[in-house]
Amino acid sequence: MSADPAPLILSVLDEEFTVPVIWTPKSTFWWVFVGEDGEPSRHGIQIKPLAEILPTEATIDGTTYSWEPVPKWDSESSSETTEFIDFDKTRRLHLLVPIDGFTTEVRSRITIRRNKNWNLSFRAWRKNESSTTRTVKAESDTESSNHEWTVTAVEKI
């Protein structure tokens, strides 16, 4: 196990996406796509459709997982309902997976947008926060930013 985590490889159908490691100001890290502005993109990235329908599986660092239906959200109770959003429009991964010997929580979603492109979001973080602490504090890439992130670029393999 290396001290610095490596980017994750997310495979959707025949396309591979590198999900970069992002270091936070508190010297913890997570994996998330980065927007054009260089900031973490919690809402994901827009991609061209890779098939006629959304995929049934995704692969994270060589292990394949099945997409699941997305429960509808009840804003009054702030909880998921027992009903689901149309599976043809959106799917999700909510997983605990081993990465480099650590339990890692994964949240990913793939959705067909109104413009017919797909939106792909991905976030992952280690469950044991003490194992992700780094002794060197992350430094800001830009002085004008309200957030301090050390970012590696998103690249399509």
pLDDT of residue 151 exceeding 50, the answer is: no
Distance CA 111, CA 86 (A): 10
Pick the range with the lowest mean pLDDT from 40-44, 72-76, 149-153: 149-153
Q: Is 41 helix (H, G, I), strand (E, B) or coil?
A: coil
Residue 39 lies inside a defined structural domain of this protein: yes
Angle at 5 between CA 68 and CA 70, to 5 degrees: 15
Provide φ and ψ at 21, rounded to 5°: -85, 130
How many angstroms separate the Cα of 32 from the Cα of each of 7, 8, 46, 71, 86? 9, 9, 14, 22, 25
pLDDT band at 128 (very low <50, low <70, confident <90, very high): low
Concatenating the DSSP letter of every residue in 79-96 gives EEEEEE--TTTEEEEEEE
Residue 142 lies inside a defined structural domain of this protein: no
Residue 19 lies inside a defined structural domain of this protein: yes
Residue 103 lies inside a defined structural domain of this protein: yes
- pTM for the whole thing? 0.76
Pick the range with the lowest mean pLDDT from 12-21, 43-52, 104-113, 135-144: 135-144
Q: 107-122: per-residue pLDDT in tens?
A: 999 999 999 999 999 9
Q: 51-110: per-residue pLDDT in tens?
A: 999 999 999 999 999 999 999 988 888 888 888 999 999 999 999 999 888 899 999 999
| Residue 20 structural domain | 8-134
The tally of domains found in the chain comes to: 1
